[in-house]
Chain A
Amino acid sequence: MALQVYTASLLKEGLVAYLTLDNNLPSWTTDIHQATAAIDDSLEALKKAAEQSEQDNIVVAPYAIDVIKTDSGIIAATKREQIRATGPTIELPQENIRVSRKAA
């Protein structure tokens, strides 16, 4: 089985979040590098914490994703989850128009 982390959407903001467990205390971060990764049996603790967070109305629809550990940290295994983790792969319009106005 692959190394996995738990991800969900934050209820209030809707933003993509990842579960961290610090001494069994759960919290959610938008930075995948800070997510707690686990494999096989140790995933169960993450699953329970994620489900509890959903019941506590902190997050919506948690699920596990495959990740890969690299020298620069955890990255998601699939393209979809990589885009979820880092945001759109295109420049957002407001930033772009500002750049072009400066250039002009």
Chain B
Amino acid sequence: MYQYSDQDQQLLLERVAQFRGQVARRLKGELSEEEFKHQRLRNGLYLQLHAYMLRVAIPYGLLSSDQMRTLAHIARKYDKGYGHFSTRQNIQYNWPKLEDVPDILDDLAKVEMHAIQTSGNCIRNTTSDPLASVARDELEDPRPYCELIRQWSTFHPEFNFLPRKFKIAVSGATQDRAAVAVHDIGLRLIKNETSGENGFEVYVGGGLGRTPMIGKVIRSFLPKEDMLTYLEAILRVYNTLGRRDNIYKARIKILVHETGEDKFRELVEAEWEKIKAGGLYLKDEDFAWVKGFFKDPDYELLPDNDTEFENLLLSNTDFARWVDKNIELHKQSGYRIVYLSLKTAHQPPGDVTADQMDAIADLADKYSLSQIRTTHRQNLVLSDVKLQDLPALWEELKALDLATPNYNHVTDIISCPGLDYCALATARSIPISQAITERFDNYDFINDLGDVSINISGCINACGHHHVANIGILGVNKKGTEVYQLTLGGSAREDAAIGKIIGPAFEADEIVDAVEKVLSVYLENREDPEETFLMTYRRLGQAFFKERLYG
């Protein structure tokens, strides 16, 4: 992974010292809240429903075991013993005291971490595929490109006060595990069949929130050498023309929509012509340098079978279920990718205790080359586990309550913090996710349902990504009562789609029954078990499901 240079470290320490001074001035009354708010938001610090909330950046979801231990230490020393992994692969602490935040940032800086680009109208932390460099369907590792974007965007003087926040995702595989089509910019690595060169398909103007949109492909192939110049051109057009008069119309998706896809493309291409040969043009030595941080480890040459693993697979049903649901094939023979499920009925989706974080760091050291990845579905990944170690790892994960066999299944629910934590929320989302998990916490049922996603948001801002779930739930406040709208048919993958509201909202004590009804409509009408929920929904249509849900 990327290692800070002396210059990087100095920059970070100076930034922490600067914020320490700002906090001291605020506490002494030398800065008003209005003045200070802009500073704290530049350092990931929000004032939420119950307390301050600090969002810490995890660049493209990649953590070392030492960084994970520091996250545990922060949870234990400065917070209430847990953290929350978010849909943008970051971690949030819900209870820090303002006076402690500079010390937290100092502790983070010691392991090359920070809270920069996690708030404010800047280019946010770039997200990526949690299976980068190990997936079998990968064309090229996207992380070197993410790191180049991180270095280009951090403290970029021109883009520090954009009309609104700006999110970029990069994927390098056939399957989209980074939801690139619902980001302000999505980059998908593809091969140019004529030249044989890899480059990017460029999506612009995707996003969720109150106006969900799928990104438009504004360039079908961008040579990778031009990645930063082209991003700069897009951001310049947005920074110049994006609306600043209305926060709800300030995202780039609105600009693309109002300008028109073709005209927007013209504007970007015209701007790009002016700068494409400039200093941001990427040269071979730039790629060689950054790729040096992301070299494959020295994998052992191992057979792709193991007697102990296979015996346990045959003799232990629970182990077999976990392998079936939470393990993926690795590009390297004899290795596997392991999902650590953060979705149980015992904890809110994405929450991890300090004890669990320490234990996960130890497991990463023991079994997975000392690295951990975070996913946008709020789970964790150990990416390089030897096949022969899976039985022992499973035993340890079970003891930590991190081995629920449900990855990409109905109880693998994305949930925003909702009204239990968030100042913007209008309804609770965590209790609904827990109620759904409790209702469907039956392996045979989960297995029979197959690949289906449920996402829950506690307000129209859609931090729980409900628009792109197969079954989306949006909590709203209707005359003082929390009610929940159902959307069906969304997808965050390569077939990205925005779900449609199916009908009138349900009260809190009705929504789980409604979800169960939708699932039963699917089970009763699928053509065969291979037809997923989304395939059945697309075949039968919204009206079919609506009639059976409300009829």
Contact = CB atoms under 8 A, between A and B. Distances in A.
Interface residues of B, number: 41
A89 B80 CA distance: 16
A92 interface: yes
A15 B259 CA distance: 44
A14 B348 contact: no
Contacts of A56: 29
B340 to A, nearest CB: 15
B80 to A, nearest CB: 6
A9 B419 contact: no
A97 B97 contact: no
Contacts of B82: 92-94
A83 B346 contact: no
B476 to A, nearest CB: 12
A93 B401 CA distance: 12
A94 B421 contact: no
B420 A96 contact: no
B27 A97 contact: no
A96 B431 CA distance: 15
Contacts of B482: 79
Contacts of A79: 419, 477, 480-482
Contact of A89 (B48, B99, B353, B431): B431
A100 B346 CA distance: 9
Given A90-B348, A93-B81, A57 B29 contact: yes
Contacts of A50: none
B50 A16 contact: yes
Q: Identify the interface centre among B49, B95, B477: most chain A CB within 10 Å of its CB.
A: B49
Contacts of B356: 97
B351 interface: yes
Given A89-B428, A93-B81, A97-B353, A15 B27 contact: no
B469 interface: no
A87 to B, nearest CB: 6
Interface string B332-354: 00000000000000111001111
Interface in B70-122: 80-82, 95-99
B434 A90 contact: yes
Contacts of B346: 96-97, 100
A42 to B, nearest CB: 26
A30 to B, nearest CB: 10
Given A57-B29, A93-B352, A93-B353, A87 B50 contact: yes
B415 to A, nearest CB: 11
Interface string A61-99: 100000000000000001110011001111011101100
A11 B351 CA distance: 26
A14 B52 contact: yes
B103 to A, nearest CB: 14
Given A14-B97, A93-B348, A88 B80 contact: no
Contacts of B352: 93
A12 interface: yes
A13 interface: yes
Interface string B431-473: 1001000000000000000000000000000000000000000
A49 interface: no
Contacts of A37: none
Contacts of A60: 33, 47
Contacts of B480: 78-79
A77 to B, nearest CB: 9
Contact of A14 (B47, B81, B355, B421): B47
A94 B483 CA distance: 29
A83 B100 CA distance: 25
Given A12-B97, A93-B352, A83 B420 contact: yes
Contacts of B99: 12
B97 A92 contact: no
Contacts of A54: 33
B353 A88 contact: no
Contacts of A13: 51, 97-98
Contacts of A100: 346, 401
Given A79-B482, A90-B430, A100-B401, A11 B27 contact: yes
A14 B51 contact: yes
A79 B431 CA distance: 14
A97 B357 CA distance: 12
Nearest to A56: B29
B347 to A, nearest CB: 5
A92 B352 CA distance: 10
Contacts of A87: 50
A78 to B, nearest CB: 6
B347 A9 contact: no
B52 to A, nearest CB: 4
Contacts of A93: 81-82, 347-348, 351-353
B347 A89 contact: no
A88 B421 contact: yes
Nearest to B75: A94
B209 to A, nearest CB: 20
Contacts of A9: 47, 51
B94 to A, nearest CB: 9
A75 B82 CA distance: 29
B431 A90 contact: yes
Nearest to A60: B33
B27 A12 contact: yes
- Specify which of A16, A57, A100 lies most central, judged by the most chain B CB atoms within 10 Å of its CB: A57
17 contacts: A9-B47, A11-B98, A13-B51, A14-B51, A14-B52, A16-B49, A16-B50, A57-B27, A78-B480, A83-B49, A89-B431, A93-B347, A93-B353, A96-B347, A97-B347, A97-B355, A97-B356
The 4 lowest CB-CB distance pairs between A and B, nearest first, are A94-B81, A14-B52, A88-B420, A14-B51
